Structure 1
Amino acid sequence: MRLHRNLVFSVIDGLNLIFNEGAYADKVVEKLLKRDARWGSRDRKFVAETTYEIVRWKRLYAEIADSNENYSRENIWRMFAVWATLRGIELPDWNQLAGTPTRRIKGRFDELSKIRKIKESIPDWLDELGVQELGEAVWTKEIHALNEQADVILRTNTLKTTKEKLQTVLAKFDIETEFIEGYPDALRLKERANIFKNDAFKSGLFEVQDASSQLVAELLDVQPGMKVVDACAGAGGKSLHLAALMENKGQLISLDIYEGKLRELKRRARRNGAHNIETRVITSTKVIKKLYDKADRVLIDAPCSGLGVLRRNPDAKWKIQPDFLEKIKNTQQDILQRYSRMVKSGGKLVYATCSILPSENQQQVETFLASNDDFTLIEDKKVLASESGFDGFYMALLERK
């Protein structure tokens, strides 16, 4: 591979924003890809994937480059040199890369790869927490899996097409996909591609949604004609799936505290042809109380640490702090206690997170059931990335007696 100056400088600029200004990696990459209209698909792929790779392995590369916790542009260049050297890429004769100790880099990599928290590029406290909650063996496998690049998974919008027809349509755009056993609406891309510019996406034939995430709406067991509440809808990925499972029949109320996210859901719903979704902003407790004892089904896709989706958000490893975890666990229990009251007698509730920590998952459900004897646990699913190959998730199906 030959390194091109304008592409590499873009990566360095992006890493500076992420490491030093707290910018989110996905937003930074999105802006970087608009920097030069002349870039082709290979150029864009280099910028995006290289940026994400160095963010993913930030601690390891920084330790090798002796620039840990000091992310000056000079040190970011040194981290880039580590990235390139470990991939066998010949470094060009640029001032910023002069004097790179290639042999030392490889030796340091071998040495530091024996220490899990450095090898997997995670903070000390997170490594300790993972062992505490999952055990040494499971945590070692899981954090390794969470550092692998995520597959691109599509969810077929069954309001408009079938999985088989969608696969045929995408093939016409030279996008090859494959079915995934056990996931009825999912297609996995065989190679990464820009899928948002083709007519299949613009026509609402699919959404991008990880396979594990697709299990959540399925577990809720919705039927056409029901009254369903998606209590923490966000931008609506699971609301759209629920609408499809309901065949556009019945009432689907999508709630969130952020009006901007619900506006995005409305836009996506129009593209998907999902007509039974009603959005409501949670401006006060009254919004929730009006729905007490009214819903056949309630989905609580609770705010969480997001540790199950680190493959997609590698910078989250450094943004999450221990005090946030404690706060979010309190929030989860509060939401579960209050929002569960929207379920009517005989109705069902799914509590879900994209976390792998039992303290955010099974333990939250156990705490809830201990003080709500009118609910029973029907089943729960713990999805680990190391076992499934997809995002880490948890979901529990409860029924109100």
Structure 2
Amino acid sequence: MTAPARSSSAYVLALLFAGNLLNFYDRALPAVVLEPIKEEYRLDDVQVGVLASAFVVVAAIAGVPLGRLADRVARRTVAGWGLLVWSLFTAAGGVLTNFWAFLGSRVGVGAGEASYAPATGSLLADLYPSERRARANAVFMLGFPIGTLLAYLTAGGLAVAFDTWRAPFLIAAIPGVVVALLVLRIREPERGAAEPAPPVVGEKRGILRVKSMYGLILAFAGYNFAAYAIGTFLTPVVQRYYGLGLVDAGLVGGAVIGVTGLLGLLVGGRLLDRAARRSPAARVVVAAVCLAGAALCSLAGLAAGKGALWQLIVLLGLGYLLGIIYLAAAVPVTADVIRPHQRSTAIGLMSAIGYLLGGAGGPIVVGAMSDSLAAGSTEADGLRTAMMIAIPIAFAVAALGMLLAARYVRDDRAAMLAA
């Protein structure tokens, strides 16, 4: 029998989703067992922020060259080897016995994961046309809340069951190796296969001459600042301020990040694609409105007093839900305005700047604010106040970025198709 020219879109999407689930499971592990790590290595909150950000900084720096590589070689090769590398470094984090070695393992995880978004974003854009990309990307991005939810639900229990916080790191590496081998066997579609007309390979328009990209980069940075700050410090603030144990705090984190993120992507993909049928700009405006709502809800949730844990869960969860709807739009909008043979590079560039300013900045800034504010009150109050100030502002900045992109996306889309 003759092998098909390319793997089916549903199979590729399912496989890439599995890899993305493991991506965010591995990312979330240090946050879930952060207090035992902090105790063993005797860290303050600034050092905790550095630990969370080191991974993001490396992912940001590596994202651009790996994105360029994915525009030149098979995208399955870049994504598959990246998945294999980060899985092995995740396992290394479970056996290394000093802080600097553990930090080095997280740097390795960041380098491996940097390959995944640029390669898979470009690949998905060639599997689905523009008006279906938000739903496809939402399914792919379900790996974010589901992987994070699984980490929050299982990592604490595994650490308690094996009497060490290292156990989840070792266990997580096994499925990563399996999925990496499957990704390496994908048969890809041609670049530009889902566009209305075949792509012309010739003189390329510079990515930073596309005006929409400036707003998209600003939005990605603001969103990741908020998301990484929440992901890093939600479990510690629930333990310190509300007095919950490790397992119960993990359940709260799973509810706020995992369950609401899952619902947001399920609703968001369909909502955004429906808006895209009206115009390319409509999808961007909907994402901006959701980010503005995330700023307001997260402020109300983080303002909850010690006797109102439900307020934190409900309102911060709603803010997280609205914020993640934006995430279903980020890559499809980039694909709308960037030519097929430049998409991995563009996604890598957006990820690099967004992660460097936002994903790395969020944990460090909130950690530094926490230590400073704790000097005049308590460690618990300092962290809560720092999150209450920084996270809503970051969501608001992301909303402004999408409004800026909405001004130019129609013309940039037309210019890309006319090329």
> What range is the shorter-chain TM-score in?
under 0.3
Larger Cα-atom Rg = 1
- Report the TM-score, using the length of structure 1 for normalisation: 0.26
TM-score by length of 2: 0.25
Task: Name the structure where helix makes up a greater proportion of residues.
Answer: 2
Q: With CA pairs under 8 Å and 6+ residues apart, which has the higher RCO, 1 or 2?
A: 2
